[in-house]
Amino acid sequence: MKNILCLLLMWGGLFTTGLFGQTEQLQSLEREAKAASGTARVEKYIALSEAYMQIGDFSKAQDAAAEAEDFAKRMKTPELRAVALNLEGKALMASGKRGAFGGGKPAPRFEQSYEILKQIHSGNKALMLDNLQNLRLLAAKANKSSEVAEIDGRIAKLEGRSPQPPEPGFNPLPPEFEAQMNRFAEQNSEFAKQLEKIQVGSEKSATPEEANKYREIQMQLAESMARIDEMSKEQMQDALFIAEQRSMLDSLMFQTISDSLSLTIYESNLKVAESDRKFNIAAMIALILLAGGSLFSYFRARQNAKILEAKNKIIREEQQRSDNLLLNILPALVADELKKLGRTNARYFEDVCVLFADFVGFSKIAEKLTPQQLVTELDTCFQAFDQIMAKYSLEKIKTIGDAYMVAGGLADGDGSKLRDMIEAARDMQQWLHNWNLERDKKGLPRFDARIGIHRGPVVAGVVGSKKFAFDIWGDTVNIAARIEQASEGGKINISGEVYQIIKGDFPCHYRGKIAAKNKGEIDMYFVEN
């Protein structure tokens, strides 16, 4: 018993070294276990339970083993489940807070682990034997001689030998010794909790030499516990008596040394001036507080910096997602104004080109297709048109039924971008031509678009405060719509104003003056595809 007490004192003396050396490893193992899946997750939790058993944190060792057992049960991996149950039983037995038998106690875990291995005809004979040996130890502590004999028979059968008769005078531990051992185990568990609190409060790492020394002490402690379990009743009585006598002697020697040291300090303090004594004490306390405060502030600042960086990353990602969504709805200039001011003002643009496109005979097409097919076909066309507009940096304004409306020159106000608009219109017609060739082969209705383009001044802005939409207004928009109505399927119809600007770049065919509703006669041209 004295050896164990000495080992516990040495263990406590090394809490600033070896224990902290495992902090980061345990935290890393916990993160890996939570992130893993399948049998890998079961194996990670088993490793985590074994790690907690090594440092004496039996409560967390039990929790990790229980998590591994539950997941192994759901994954239908009986071999791993048996290992987890064995670990859970050991953690419960080491904690000393629960009895040997009954619900939620160690004996049923060992028994269940043994039965699982037996049912699947496992070749893990060592684990089966370990379960039986732990059951025998628990039965002996509970003074259950008949169960000890029965377990001895099972062990002998597993090892392939004949059962040995019980030793003469066999007498399991009486209740008072069982109570003493349980109290010792409770003290050991409480000591482990105190070490855990110290561990959480610091991140200091131990040197390899200190960590090795800490592991040696753990091994010595485990060996001492094993020796206690193997002691007979008389040996335990003798060991407890000797440990008690040595403890009393050590206490007396410690008191003598303490008294001598106190006298020496007292005599030394008498030789030091009162002012110097106060100054030295105050300086020492100030230095300790300053060092402790600086260390605490450093770790807290580093932790807060990591948390803040993670939150800032999330904010940046969400802000980027929001900006992309806003730019899908509004031009860049309007979007920037809306973000800065929370509102937008209508803008006047002197030179903007406007394109309208719709499909010839759309009503007849709608009669031949189901509503779902019709929406799907329109979506295919408009997605292709969207990609073409993005290629030439043109602004899609809206779609109205089968009509598609685009404007050029709104993004930066540097002109109508007519040439880009003509190129985009030709790409639209070319894409529709190729698409219709495939549809003709399948016997599907054709989508022939008529396109009209005009240029001039417009007013642009956002309408409404909820579900707002960007739009443009003016005579230019109305004329562009009339020119589109006067176009033909597969053709690009432009006004005379547009022709005067692009005539040197694109071949055009003059159509003459054509009447437009409410606009009189307008010079119109077909752009050659």
DSSP assignment of 51-101, as one string?
A: HHHHHT-HHHHHHHHHHHHHHHHHHT-HHHHHHHHHHHHHHHHHH-SS-SS
Report the pLDDT value the prediction gives residue 489, as an integer from 0 to 100: 93
Q: Give, in order, the Cα–Cα distances in Å from 410 to each of 331, 351, 424, 427, 454.
A: 7, 9, 16, 21, 15
Q: Are 454 and 489 in contact (CB under 8 A)?
A: no
> 425, 508, 385: which is closest to 497 by C-alpha?
508
pLDDT at residue 389, rounded to an integer: 95
For residue 22, how many other CB atoms are within 10 A of its CB?
20
71-84 pLDDT, tens digit per residue, is: 999 989 999 999 99
What percent of the chain has a predicted confidence (pLDDT) above 70?
68
Least confident of 146-160, 253-267, 311-325, 428-442: 253-267
The band of 270, judged by pLDDT with boundaries at 50, 70 and 90, is confident
The CA distance from 365 to 445, in Å, is: 6
Distance between CA 384 and CA 370 in Å, rounded? 21
Task: Quote the CA–CA distance of 422 and 529 in Å, as a whole number.
Answer: 10
Cα(31)–Cα(25) distance, integer angstroms: 10
pLDDT mean across residues, the chain:
79
Q: Encoding tokens for residue 336?
A: 């920037």
Q: What pLDDT is recorded for position 284?
A: 86
Question: Rounded to whole angstroms, how far apart are CA atoms 137 and 92?
Answer: 13
Q: How far is the C-alpha of 29 from the C-alpha of 32, rounded, in Å? A: 5
Q: What is the pLDDT of residue 219?
A: 58
User: What does the domain layout of the chain look like in residue ranges?
Assistant: 239-271, 274-329, 346-527
Residue 338 in this model has a pLDDT that exceeds 90:
no
Share of the chain above pLDDT 90, in %: 39
Name beta bridge partners: 492: 451, 527
Contacts made by residues 104-109, CB under 8 angstroms, sequence distance 24+: 106/134, 106/138, 107/135, 107/138, 107/139, 109/85
For range 95-110, the mean pLDDT: 66
Which are the contacts of 311, defined by CB distance < 8 A and separation ≥ 6?
none
Residues 6+ apart with CB under 8 A from 83: 46, 68, 113, 127
Residue 45 clears pLDDT 70, i.e. is over it:
yes
CA 522/CA 524 separation, integer angstroms: 6
Would you give the DSSP letter of residue 465? S
Cβ 49 vs Cβ 73: under 8 Å: no
Does the pLDDT at position 394 exceed 90?
yes
Prediction pTM value? 0.42
Beta-carbon contacts of 336 under 8 Å, excluding residues fewer than 6 positions away, are: none
Those residues whose C-beta lies under 8 Å from the C-beta of residue 116, and which sit 6 or more positions away, are 78, 81, 82, 85, 122
Residue 113: exposure state from Cβ atoms within 10 A (0-12, 13-18, ≥19):
buried
Tell the residue number behind the tokens 């059962």, with chain if given. Answer: 163
pLDDT at 202 over 80: no
Where is pLDDT greater, at 515 or 463? 515
Q: What is the pLDDT of residues 482-506, one digit of tens each?
A: 999 999 999 999 999 999 999 999 9
Helix axis angle for 175-200 and 58-75, nearest 10°, is: 90
Check pLDDT > 50 for residue 385: yes
How many angstroms separate the Cα of 49 from the Cα of each of 55, 66, 200, 268, 474? Answer: 10, 9, 18, 52, 75
Distance CA 55, CA 35 (A): 23
CB neighbourhood size of 237 (10 A): 13
Domain 346-527 has CATH 3.30.70.1230: yes
| Single-letter amino acid code for the residue at 132 | L
- Start-to-end CA span in the chain (Å): 101
Q: How far apart are CA 149 and CA 6, in angstroms?
A: 36
With a CB cutoff of 8 Å and minimum separation 6, the contacts of 67 are: 33, 45
Amino acid type, 123: G
461 beta partners: 471
Q: What are the beta bridge partners of residue 470? A: 462
pLDDT at 323: 65
Res. 224: pLDDT tops 70: no
**CA–CA–CA angle 368, 369, 375 (5° rounding):** 145
Cα–Cα distance measured from residue 114 to residue 103, given in angstroms and rounded to the nearest whole number: 17
Query: From residue 320, how far is each of 260, 332, 336, 470 by CA, in Å?
Result: 72, 14, 13, 21
